[in-house]
Chains A and B, each alone.
Chain A
Amino acid sequence: MYLTKEEERIYNGECGWANQVCMKILVRLGELFNATKLIPISSAHVSGVSYKTLGDAPTEFLEALAYANTKAYVKATLNPQSFDREYLCKKLPQNLFRKQLRVMEYFEKMDFVPSLTCTPYYLEKPEKGAHLAWAESSAVVYANSVIGAWTNREGGPSALAAAVIGKTPDYGMHKAENRQPKVLVKLGTRLRSDVEFGALGIFLGKVLKDEIPFIQGLQKASADNLKQLGAAMASTGMVNMFYHCNDTLKSGIEKISIEAKDILRTVENLTTTSKQKPNLVFVGCPHCSLAEIKLIASLIHHRKVKEETECWICTSRHIQEKAKKYVTKIEQTGARVITDTCVVVTWTDKLGIKTIMTNSAKTAHYAPTMNKAETVLVSLKESLDAAFRG
């Protein structure tokens, strides 16, 4: 791998231990994937923030980096943590809360932006064609497919290293030749609701190997529909991008057809219980957009959440502040708008939640193992109807 003189100095430890470790991570990963150089990035997004998924192991590493006076060189946002600051921080054990605060203290000391969201693109939308080093698979697919930015699916540590150095190895999704569609997906059905976009993603993630699909029949999909599709596709597969419109296709590529029954069966398989009375109705995986918050507010206006049911709407603090008027309306119904976290990265089991109903195929995929919960996957409208009276 070719290194500039400055990169070489960092690699040899002339700029301190922390920078050297970060540079080594990038160079070795680059060598592993046959990159020939490092390229500058416009932003990094780091996963591995929630103490629930991290445990104690990384805290010491983050502490060592933070006290070596390491700083993020480019804008670097953070994935959700395990608590919000209003509700869950009071309901869950305080020792867990303290451990989470320690993790956050180190990240903030290193100048990471405490965005605490899986949708960093709502805070600042990357430029089309910008090179990024993002972890959080749903954001990676969204950036590549909907925004048109270029990023590999980083792991927590490699995104951290890229944030500190401001560069990433030039391989994979950073190369135009690796961003070509390789499979034509023919949809033999019209997708009718948000949950069906998620189901399509789950199905595709399983059947695609490492080939980028061009999906025909998504012309009318909204950005939020595509967000559901991408998040689900990343949770069952390794493909980091899909095409959905206006792209010229080379002839003679492999084709697969997806029928209504494939979508239906996928939704059914992600529902693990016939119970229609969930303890928790959850919307906001990935975190809600402004448009989704507005839609939810209009759907539940003047209604009340059922007793013994919790209804969480998860989003970023950024969107919550932008949508204040709608957030107030939602909270008047007894539902909670929760920021900084989500179901998958917090301890719903410690709150006694055994059945989760959601419109997110990604959550339905993870909740049985990550939350030890039964899941019911239905559309946004149906899930709100289950949570509300009237």
Chain B
Amino acid sequence: MLPTILKGRKIVEGYCKAEALVSTKPISFLGGVDPADGKIIEKNHDLCGECVKGKVFCFPHGHGSTVGSYVLYSLAKKALAPKAIINQTADPVVVVGAIISNIPMTDQIDIKQIRSGDLLEVDADKGLVKILKRKRG
């Protein structure tokens, strides 16, 4: 079977292959992600307790304080950042965070097609996300 290919828009260039971590909820990096270990700590968030490290982090868009951009930078410095970010609609906080931290980022992707655990290939230069392998079950 051919892999599913989703086409979006380049925000920050770069390429990676990694497992997806998918949320249906917007996230605030300030107060929502612990800069010390990369775990999501926003209460009532569907990914509360999960770690963003090394994942292709897929969520609709960011919200909250612009200090959130710096939280992404801090995660990247400690090698705790996601390998790539996929958004439905990019917002300034996450875009700036991805730029200063050099995290490949694409938006205008239908993230509902992706499930946590799927193996993804992200070619942010072309705005392409390939679902290489579906998570079983």
Partner-B contacts on A (CB < 8 A): 21, 24-25, 28-29, 32, 47-48, 53-58, 60-61, 135, 155-158, 161
Contact = CB atoms under 8 A, between A and B. Distances in A.
B70 A54 contact: yes
B35 interface: yes
Contacts of B93: 155
B73 to A, nearest CB: 5
B95 interface: yes
Given A57-B73, A60-B73, A25 B99 contact: yes
* Interface size class, chain B: 20 to 34
A161 B92 CA distance: 13
B67 A158 contact: no
Contacts of A135: 66
Contact of A25 (B67, B77, B100): B100
A28 B95 contact: yes
Dominant secondary structure of chain B at its interface with chain A = helix
Contacts of B69: 155-157
Contacts, number: 67
B92 A57 contact: no
A58 B77 CA distance: 11
29 contacts: A21-B100, A25-B99, A29-B92, A29-B95, A29-B96, A32-B90, A48-B66, A48-B70, A53-B67, A56-B35, A57-B67, A57-B70, A57-B73, A57-B74, A58-B74, A60-B74, A60-B77, A61-B70, A61-B73, A61-B100, A155-B69, A155-B92, A155-B93, A156-B67, A156-B69, A157-B69, A157-B96, A157-B100, A158-B66
Contacts of A24: 99
A58 B67 CA distance: 7
B10 to A, nearest CB: 10
B119 interface: no
A21 B67 CA distance: 16
Contacts of B65: 53
A109 B11 CA distance: 31
Dominant secondary structure of chain A at its interface with chain B = helix
B96 A25 contact: yes
A28 B71 contact: no
Given A28-B12, A32-B95, A60-B77, A157 B90 contact: no
B96 A58 contact: no
Contacts of B35: 55-57
B52 to A, nearest CB: 14
Interface string B74-99: 10010000000000001011011001
A288 B92 CA distance: 31
A56 B100 contact: no
A254 to B, nearest CB: 27
A54 B99 CA distance: 19
A334 B70 CA distance: 40
Contacts of A54: 67, 70
A24 B67 CA distance: 18
B67 A55 contact: yes
B11 A157 contact: no
Nearest to A24: B99
Contacts of B71: 57
Given A56-B35, A60-B77, A157 B66 contact: yes
Interface in B41-86: 65-67, 69-71, 73-74, 77
Nearest to B66: A155
Contacts of B11: 28
A158 B11 CA distance: 16
A32 to B, nearest CB: 6
Contacts of A53: 65, 67
Nearest to A23: B99
Interface in B9-56: 11-12, 30, 35
A18 to B, nearest CB: 10
Nearest to B107: A32
A157 B70 contact: yes
Contact of A158 (B30, B70, B73, B96): B96
B99 A156 contact: no
A53 B67 CA distance: 8
B63 to A, nearest CB: 12
A56 B74 contact: yes
A56 B73 CA distance: 11
Nearest to B98: A28
A54 B92 CA distance: 17
A24 B10 CA distance: 13
Nearest to B36: A56
> Lowest 5 CB-CB distances: which A-B pairs, in order?
A155-B66, A58-B70, A57-B74, A57-B70, A57-B71
Contacts of A158: 66, 92, 96
Contacts of B73: 57-58, 60-61
A136 to B, nearest CB: 11
Interface in B75-134: 77, 90, 92-93, 95-96, 99-100
